[in-house]
């Protein structure tokens, strides 16, 4: 299906990761040295890799500067205020294509600036035509809120508006927001479908749709909601799809939803080379939790994201850390959206040292300056591992990822 291939890349990989064979039980359980799924084990060796110094990585030479793009001058000023000068590879390749009205498939490592790659040209599209409406569909509430915040940064004082529509928040407030002037709707599939069925959102009025983190939406079982949304939109729409990976399921989705898309691949490797990866083995007679305490007490562990497997386990670990005097927060599916947003805000603004999370935090979130990612529980698949540790080592900084093994 992929006829065109732009950017600096290798071919699309199609890993086949199955379900893990966990023991039953809440909390943090023990694992064996080979973490098995239906098709192949994940060897401990895949969790160990020395980071390549950033100075050894040749910097990307962009074809454009932001001032070169054919976009609104006020938007250029807002971009400049954010400190943007040279586009990242995904921005450099995607922005001109979106401005030209093309359907685009974008595949890039996490933390590469893809949100700006679609927001900048789409804001310009709305400025050129105030009747234009843009729908941005994402898998999680946190990512929707993050994109909405970035939209407002790029918008500045320009008179264009958005509505953020996600589950777990009062629907009446979102209905009220949708009844006011707006050009952008950013939301999760289930809530968008609900609002469409209530006839609050008229999808046929939207000329552009962005499917962000499409692979994650498939993983979370949103395919029927996505098909419902797409079926209500005009056939002449512009469709942009972004994914960290291309699998057969994503390929099928592209064939179904996009028209002659131009494919941009700027992934250089599964894992950024500036992430230092290692394992943590507990010493004889040492409890796993004590080994974690010892790590977190070291001065360089200043902003740490810890991943656990279950909601109960994450909450239990969070409370243990609080009792030990650490400044910690937690996010998982049992926390309501205001509490999840508060926890993220505390961690992002460095008012807490530690964020303990289930995999809900592993996709799409842009959390600056995370010094360490710790896999207190081994992830379900190697793909999940990649997305977890991608929270560190962002913006060409060296990050560290540690995985507890028995």
User: Residue 106: which domain range?
Assistant: 66-265
Residue 363 inside a domain? The answer is yes
Burial class (CB in 10 A: 0-12, 13-18, 19+), 215: buried
Q: Is 341 found in the same domain as 205?
A: no
- Say what percent of the chain tops pLDDT 70: 83
First to last CA, the chain: 43
* pLDDT at residue number 238: 98
pTM above 0.75, yes or no: no
Residue 199 inside a domain? The answer is yes
The domain that holds 87 is classified in CATH as: 3.40.50.300
CA 313 vs CA 200, 232, 353, 357, 406: distances in Å: 39, 41, 19, 9, 17
* pLDDT at residue number 25: 30
Residue 369 inside a domain? The answer is yes
Residue 214 inside a domain? The answer is yes
| Cα(116)–Cα(118) distance, integer angstroms | 5
Domain boundary among 237, 265, 293: 265
Q: Which residue has the higher pLDDT, 332 or 3?
A: 332
* pLDDT at residue number 47: 78
> Dihedral, CA atoms, 130, 200, 333, 110, nearest 10 degrees?
-20
Q: Which residue has the higher pLDDT, 55 or 305?
A: 305
Residue 85 inside a domain? The answer is yes
Q: Is 284 found in the same domain as 226?
A: no
Domain boundary among 245, 265, 285: 265
CA 147 vs CA 185, 203, 359: distances in Å: 11, 20, 19
Q: Is 80 found in the same domain as 204?
A: yes
- In the predicted structure, residue 302 carries a pLDDT above the cut 60: yes
Residue 8 inside a domain? The answer is no
* pLDDT at residue number 42: 65
* pLDDT at residue number 56: 54
Q: Is 345 found in the same domain as 253?
A: no
| Cα(389)–Cα(402) distance, integer angstroms | 9
Q: Is 239 found in the same domain as 111?
A: yes
Q: Is 277 found in the same domain as 260?
A: no
Q: Which residue has the higher pLDDT, 12 or 272?
A: 272
Residue 167 tokens, joined: 């589950």
Residue 162 inside a domain? The answer is yes
- In the predicted structure, residue 211 carries a pLDDT above the cut 60: yes
Residue 59 tokens, joined: 């910097």
Using alpha carbons, select from 229, 184, 178, 231 the residue that is nearest to residue 200: 178
Mind listing the pLDDT tens digit for each residue in 145-201?
Answer: 999 999 999 999 999 999 999 998 899 999 999 999 999 999 999 999 999 999 999
Q: Is 121 found in the same domain as 83?
A: yes
Q: Is 118 found in the same domain as 198?
A: yes
Q: Is 279 found in the same domain as 258?
A: no
Q: Is 328 found in the same domain as 370?
A: yes
Domain boundary among 265, 287, 319: 265
Q: Is 283 found in the same domain as 192?
A: no
Mind listing the pLDDT tens digit for each residue in 226-248?
Answer: 999 999 999 999 999 999 888 89
Mind listing the pLDDT tens digit for each residue in 64-81?
Answer: 999 999 999 999 999 999
Q: Is 250 found in the same domain as 161?
A: yes
Using alpha carbons, select from 141, 389, 356, 152 the residue that is nearest to residue 274: 389
Residue 98 inside a domain? The answer is yes
The structural domain count of the chain equals 2
Place 364 in a pLDDT band, splitting at 50, 70 and 90. low
| Cα(264)–Cα(260) distance, integer angstroms | 13
């Amino acid at each position: 299906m992929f006829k065109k291939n732009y950017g600096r890349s290798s071919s699309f990989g199609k890993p086949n990761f199955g379900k893990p064979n966990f023991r039953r039980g809440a909390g943090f359980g023990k694992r064996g040295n080979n973490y098995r799924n239906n098709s192949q084990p994940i060897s401990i060796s895949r969790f160990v890799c020395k980071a390549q110094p950033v100075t050894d990585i040749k910097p990307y030479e962009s074809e454009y500067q932001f001032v070169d793009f054919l976009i609104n001058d006020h938007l250029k000023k807002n971009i400049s205020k954010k400190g943007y000068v040279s586009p990242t590879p995904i921005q450099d390749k995607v922005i001109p294509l979106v401005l030209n009205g093309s359907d685009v498939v974008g595949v890039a490592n996490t933390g590469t600036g893809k949100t700006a790659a679609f927001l900048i040209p789409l804001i310009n599209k709305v400025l050129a035509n105030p009747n234009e409406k843009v729908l941005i569909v994402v898998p999680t509430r946190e990512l929707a809120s993050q994109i909405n915040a970035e939209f407002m940064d790029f918008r500045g004082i320009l008179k264009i508006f958005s509505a953020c529509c996600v589950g777990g928040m009062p629907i009446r407030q979102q209905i009220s927001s949708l009844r006011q002037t707006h050009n952008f709707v950013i939301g999760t599939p289930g809530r968008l479908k609900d609002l469409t069925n209530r006839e609050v959102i008229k999808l046929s009025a939207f000329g552009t749709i962005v499917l962000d983190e499409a692979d994650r939406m498939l993983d979370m079982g949103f395919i029927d909601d996505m098909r419902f949304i797409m079926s209500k939109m005009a056939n002449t729409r512009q469709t942009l799809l972004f994914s960290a990976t291309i699998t057969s399921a994503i390929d099928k989705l592209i064939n179904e939803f996009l028209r002659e898309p131009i494919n941009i691949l700027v992934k250089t490797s599964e894992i950024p080379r500036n992430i230092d990866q290692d394992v943590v083995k507990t010493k004889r007679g040492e409890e796993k939790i004590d080994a974690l305490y010892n790590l977190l007490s070291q001065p360089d562990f200043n902003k740490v994201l810890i991943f656990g497997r279950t909601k109960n386990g994450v909450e239990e670990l969070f409370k243990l850390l609080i009792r030990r005097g650490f400044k910690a927060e937690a996010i998982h599916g049992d926390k309501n959206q205001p509490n999840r947003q508060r926890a993220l805000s505390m961690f992002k603004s460095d008012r807490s040292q530690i964020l303990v999370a289930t995999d809900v935090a592993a996709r799409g979130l842009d959390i600056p300056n995370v010094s360490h990612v710790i896999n207190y529980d081994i992830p379900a698949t190697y793909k999940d591992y990649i997305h977890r540790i991608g929270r560190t080592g962002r913006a060409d900084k060296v990050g560290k990822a540690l995985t507890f093994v028995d």
